[in-house]
Amino acid sequence: MSTVSSIAPLPDATSRTFRPGRLRHPPFVLALSTAVLALALLFAVAPSLFSGHSAIAGLAGQQLKPPSIAHWLGTDELGRDVYARIVHGARYSLSGAAIAVGIGLGLGTLVGLLAGALGGRTDGVLMRLVDVMLAIPTLLLSLAFIVILGFGHVQVAVAVGITSVASFARLVRSEVMTVRRSDYVEAAFGSGGTFAAVLWRHVLPNSMTTVLAYAALQLGWAILQISALGFLGYGAPPPTPEWGLMIAEGRNYMARAWWLTVFPGLATIVVVLAANRVGRALSGHGR
């Protein structure tokens, strides 16, 4: 009487080749994400090289035209070229995100360095303030700072940057406390190095690798936050071609001019995903 083997047959070479997981190519995705960020940066630096239309002035008789050869992404309710506005809007989104990440990185590094290096009561006080900031939703905290600072593109970027200080500070503190226990830091103190000199020459440089990778990852988050606040009307005023503001202005015409919201929304999503992919690769989580 024959027996049936309980061991499952091994997959052949064909099944291994065409598994769904094999269709993913992380290096290709990373290269594509890098290209998207590079293109967005070129849009921000030299928008006139990519579009000959004005982002502010409309054309008479060209209101709410669908995508065509003359206007690749259509026109808005004032006859302005949507593609031109997206290209020029990259300057506001990327510059705002850069300001936000720079503020978060700078202040967060200072707070985290003091907390991790000094310890004791200083660490306790600073970390309790950080815990309070982390307990408040970032969008709500950003709105609170905007009320204090006022409306505008720079004010929104500063508010978003302040809300990210807590996450940077906690990460820097963790890295500083790890580096402080290293043998070479103890040797630097033992050889007569002052507290400030050892922090500056040894502790801080060796604590920043992970922090800088996290800053790259925060770039996409900052773009999304700034666009959300622009959508709510707290960012740059009209007729500024800011992506979040463009989506807000186009929602009143969704039934007859879908391109006014779809294309700025896609631009925001693509750039945010590209920034997140590059940031994950830099932080060591690319796979």
Assigned domain for 194 exists: yes
Residue 208 burial (C-beta neighbours within 10 Å; 0-12, 13-18, 19+): middle
> Per-residue pLDDT tens for 214-273?
898 899 999 999 999 999 989 888 888 999 999 999 988 988 999 999 999 999 999 999
- Distance CA(128)–CA(167), nearest Å, equals 13
What is the reported pLDDT for 25? Answer: 58
**CATH number (domain holding residue 189):** 1.10.3720.10
What's the predicted TM-score (pTM) here? 0.83
Please indicate, yes or no, if residue 62 is contained in any of the structural domains: no
Total domains in the fold of the chain: 1
Q: Is residue 265 part of a domain?
A: yes
Please report whether residue 3 resides in a domain: no
Residues in the chain predicted with pLDDT less than 50, given as ranges, are 1-23, 287
- Partnered with residue 115 across adjacent β-strands are none
Does residue 171 fall inside a structural domain? yes
Report the pLDDT value the prediction gives residue 204, as an integer from 0 to 100: 85
Domain that holds residue 101: 79-282
- Cα separation, 65 vs 54, whole angstroms: 16
Angle at 230 between CA 277 and CA 106, to 5 degrees: 60
Residue 222 lies in a domain: yes
